[in-house]
Amino acid sequence: MPDRVQFRLMQVGDLDSVVALERQAFSHPWTRALYLDALTSYECWMMYWHDQHVGHGVISQIVDEAHLLNIAIAVEQQGKGLGHQLLEHLMRRASQRGCVECFLELRASNLSAYALYERYGFNEIGRRRDYYPTHDGHEDALVMACTLFTDD
């Protein structure tokens, strides 16, 4: 598990780096405009490893429900345990803010994200037909949920 991982809240000045990482990591990345909106509406986190931006995540809260809206690790840094650490940080934050459950959606074809979430403790609870655009049509979204526990 990588050590010296650090987290801080995302700022407007981070968006060049965030958008560049997104474009590498996703077939349909979030845009700068979406992130500008997210900065005012949600909690957006930057993750650093050895002072390098290696990932980020966005989480929203509605009463005591958290929604994981986005999570990404730089392509060259994937598979080292960083995604798991980022997910743990976001879930801890949600729990600290009083959330008791977290929901997320992902592309049915995203096997690495599915494995990450399942390993963390998320369960598949539903499917939205043709929810995401693809280059030649649409694909289903899987809906997953996880109960959050406090540290104590």
Ligand X SMILES: CC(C)(COP(=O)(O)OP(=O)(O)OC[C@H]1O[C@@H](n2cnc3c(N)ncnc32)[C@H](O)[C@@H]1OP(=O)(O)O)[C@@H](O)C(=O)NCCC(=O)NCCS
Catalytic residue positions, numbered = 105, 117
CA–CA distance, 30 with 28 (Å, rounded to integer): 7
State the residue for tokens 């999570």.
71
Cβ closer to ligand X: 90 or 99? 90
Helix (H) or strand (E) holding 15: helix 15-25
How near is the Cβ of 40 to ligand X at its closest, in Å? 22
What is the amino acid identity at position 96?
A: Q
CA–CA distance, 38 with 99 (Å, rounded to integer): 19
How near is the Cβ of 68 to ligand X at its closest, in Å? 8
Task: Name the residues that contact ligand X, by CB under 6 A.
Answer: 25-26, 71-73, 78-84, 106, 110-113, 115-116, 119
Torsion of CA 122, 126, 131, 136, to 10 degrees: 80
Cβ closer to ligand X: 44 or 82? 82
How near is the Cβ of 152 to ligand X at its closest, in Å? 25
Cβ closer to ligand X: 100 or 143? 143
